Chain A
């Protein structure tokens, strides 16, 4: 089963990363094929495992502020900022549709 262009487009939206070329799409196809081997394993009655430490209690510390006040430090690494704000381009504008944006998928 080949992955449809709709799904590929959907993935590009979700990941905000593009396939760039046929090789990228091929890579995904191979990855899926590889992962399909999992279905050979019988997992009836087996619970999914999130963490190897599942038998232990997660450490929770007291809800006290113990560090902070490092605004300047943190802002140093941002390229665009104004006073204590990180500046982003306007939000609420969806990524251009498949036909309108520069993506390899357009051709396929």
Chain B
């Protein structure tokens, strides 16, 4: 819709850009952005405006403000991964996905906050502080909280965004951008999408280039897409997918961008409901919502069957071993010599490396590096690393069997509960939290399958709850078509943000003009 407005001249790219920038300023307390590239964004908007005036926009994304998670390299803009290790690091190049968006004329507003090096499920463990869920400031949440009018309580009551792409999710949810890039290794795009009430797409591994995405787990990482509706996700996907010679793990098949059909007849669909996703700890609310969704499909004529993915509960253990092992390897590049933080210690190379890493990494990162190295020790390699790789195959095979039996799409919850207050969340450590929160999303990464979170409803506390669809490899079109149909049925409510601003009325006006 924004794109159409730009085309018809109802709005200009610079206006759009300025409004987003000003909204970013008034939502600063959300801490969604680490870096706001105001100057370059305005320049990009001006260039876009010139193109529109000539009647030659580059495409649907021309002039559209977007945000990018701070673990993607962006030329000339600081890329920190929310870590002291990369504070001050100015990327010399653009990640392929960033380049593709810029080539389409998108306006890069800034880099969003995350858990340090994308390790975490709350977006609370970065050096720039935690990200606040915009819904903490929504009328819907406030109405459901115990009647308190002190701003103090509001201060301590705020809920997390989920993670690790929390900044991106918050940015999209609070209308400061139209789409954002996240990354997804264990659920890092879908988890915050569910908590922030936005669409979070994890594409099939190999569809979108990882070149320029600072790697966590090379065999599972994918760039993720966060938008306010499924159609938008399809548009962004269309501009990003495809083979990249700079990333040899991208498949060479030709990718054709697609428009999503308006599905009316779901009777030919077979929806699988994996019983193991009724995991311990799943809130009764979400269970009920999942059940309602199942009924929705049934009543519309789709075939709904219960299926089994027997190794689901080992996915998180498997992930734990494989992730820490790959992390141990990937973090080895941070030694202070070529980029990033460097310690003043200079007695020897090794002691400089050790001091640099001690100063640069937080506990979570160091913990994973040490665990990873433990699993990779000669005496442990077979029993842990290889064992995990075998279990990985079993998990992937579970999906192959189910999809092979005629099921088209799987429907599961995305998270175990709605977003918890920050004060609650930090009571447990990062690894425990990740193990709990990634349980429903991780297996899709293990098997490389595409998955999407669709905001479904509000919890009793007035917070978003989403459901997840998992599709077959490289069948994003089918996945998104079903997701779009579902989105239409559930009519997820728009967030009613209450921000204390002088020109509160002005904000409301902006909202209705562009963001409906």
Q: Is the CB of A49 within 8 A of B393?
A: yes
> B245 is contacted by which of A24, A38, A59 (Cβ under 8 Å)?
A59
Q: Is the CB of A38 within 8 A of B314?
A: yes
Q: Is the CB of B346 within 8 A of A37?
A: no
| Any B CB within 8 A of the CB of A107 | no
Q: Is the CB of A17 within 8 A of B321?
A: no
Known A-B contacts A17-B369, A17-B370; A86 and B338 likewise in contact (beta carbons under 8 Å): yes
Within 8 A of B (CB), among A46-65: 46-53, 56, 58-61
Interface size, chain A (Cβ < 8 Å) = 58
Q: Is the CB of B390 within 8 A of A46?
A: yes
Query: CA–CA, A46 to B422, complex, Å?
Result: 42
| Any B CB within 8 A of the CB of A89 | yes
Query: CA–CA, A88 to B447, complex, Å?
Result: 41
With both beta carbons as reference points, the residue of chain A lying nearest to B342 in the complex is identified as: A79
With both beta carbons as reference points, the residue of chain B lying nearest to A96 in the complex is identified as: B351
Query: CA–CA, A20 to B373, complex, Å?
Result: 16
Known A-B contacts A11-B374, A49-B396; A86 and B311 likewise in contact (beta carbons under 8 Å): no
Q: Is the CB of B349 within 8 A of A91?
A: yes
Query: CA–CA, A47 to B367, complex, Å?
Result: 29
| Any A CB within 8 A of the CB of B128 | no
Cβ of A39: which chain B residues have Cβ within 8 Å of it?
383, 387
Query: CA–CA, A76 to B338, complex, Å?
Result: 9
| Any A CB within 8 A of the CB of B317 | yes
Known A-B contacts A32-B374, A46-B390, A88-B349; A74 and B357 likewise in contact (beta carbons under 8 Å): no
Query: CA–CA, A67 to B328, complex, Å?
Result: 29
**What are 6 A-B contacts with C-beta separation under 8 Å?**
A27-B367, A38-B387, A60-B248, A77-B338, A89-B345, A93-B348
With both beta carbons as reference points, the residue of chain A lying nearest to B206 in the complex is identified as: A53
Q: Is the CB of A38 within 8 A of B384?
A: yes
Task: For residue A106, give the distance in angstroms from its CB to the closest CB of chain B.
Answer: 15
Q: Is the CB of B391 within 8 A of A43?
A: yes
| Any A CB within 8 A of the CB of B89 | yes
Task: For residue B392, give the distance in angstroms from its CB to the closest CB of chain A.
Answer: 5
With both beta carbons as reference points, the residue of chain A lying nearest to B75 in the complex is identified as: A73
Q: Is the CB of A14 within 8 A of B394?
A: no
With both beta carbons as reference points, the residue of chain A lying nearest to B392 in the complex is identified as: A49
Task: For residue B245, give the distance in angstroms from its CB to the closest CB of chain A.
Answer: 5
Task: For residue A18, give the distance in angstroms from its CB to the closest CB of chain B.
Answer: 6
Q: Is the CB of A78 within 8 A of B367?
A: no
Q: Is the CB of B357 within 8 A of A17?
A: yes
With both beta carbons as reference points, the residue of chain A lying nearest to B354 in the complex is identified as: A16
**Which 9 pairs, one residue from A and one from B, show the smallest C-beta to C-beta distance?**
A52-B448, A48-B389, A93-B348, A77-B339, A49-B393, A43-B390, A89-B346, A31-B371, A73-B92
Query: CA–CA, A93 to B346, complex, Å?
Result: 11
Task: For residue B81, give the distance in angstroms from its CB to the closest CB of chain A.
Answer: 14
| Any B CB within 8 A of the CB of A22 | no
Cβ of A10: which chain B residues have Cβ within 8 Å of it?
377
Q: Is the CB of A37 within 8 A of B317?
A: yes
| Any A CB within 8 A of the CB of B19 | no
Q: Is the CB of B373 within 8 A of A14?
A: yes
Interface size, chain B (Cβ < 8 Å) = 69
Known A-B contacts A11-B374, A16-B357, A34-B317; A89 and B349 likewise in contact (beta carbons under 8 Å): yes
Q: Is the CB of A48 within 8 A of B390?
A: yes
A: which residues have CB within 8 A of B? Answer: 3, 7, 10-12, 14-20, 23-24, 27-28, 30-32, 34-35, 37-41, 43, 46-53, 56, 58-61, 70, 73-74, 76-80, 86, 88-96
Task: For residue A91, give the distance in angstroms from its CB to the closest CB of chain B.
Answer: 4
By CB atoms of chain B within 10 A, which of A20, A43, A70, A96 has the most?
A: A43
Q: Is the CB of B347 within 8 A of A70?
A: no
Query: CA–CA, A12 to B351, complex, Å?
Result: 11
> B431 is contacted by which of A19, A20, A27 (Cβ under 8 Å)?
A27
Query: CA–CA, A58 to B386, complex, Å?
Result: 22
Cβ of A31: which chain B residues have Cβ within 8 Å of it?
320, 324, 367, 371, 374, 431
With both beta carbons as reference points, the residue of chain B lying nearest to A40 in the complex is identified as: B314
Cβ of A35: which chain B residues have Cβ within 8 Å of it?
317, 320-321, 375, 384, 388
Cβ of B314: which chain A residues have Cβ within 8 Å of it?
37-38, 40-41
With both beta carbons as reference points, the residue of chain B lying nearest to A80 in the complex is identified as: B342
Cβ of B219: which chain A residues have Cβ within 8 Å of it?
50-52
Cβ of B317: which chain A residues have Cβ within 8 Å of it?
34-35, 37-38
Task: For residue A84, give the distance in angstroms from its CB to the closest CB of chain B.
Answer: 12
Cβ of A52: which chain B residues have Cβ within 8 Å of it?
205-206, 219, 396, 447-448, 473
Known A-B contacts A31-B367, A51-B219, A88-B337; A95 and B248 likewise in contact (beta carbons under 8 Å): no
Within 8 A of A (CB), among B315-353: 317-318, 320-321, 324, 328, 335-340, 342, 345-353
Q: Is the CB of A28 within 8 A of B367?
A: yes
| Any A CB within 8 A of the CB of B90 | yes
Stretch at the interface among B38-46, B158-166, B282-290, B358-366: B358-366
| Any A CB within 8 A of the CB of B402 | no
Stretch at the interface among B50-58, B182-190, B229-237, B249-257: B249-257
Q: Is the CB of A95 within 8 A of B367?
A: no
With both beta carbons as reference points, the residue of chain A lying nearest to B339 in the complex is identified as: A77
Cβ of B363: which chain A residues have Cβ within 8 Å of it?
20, 23-24, 27
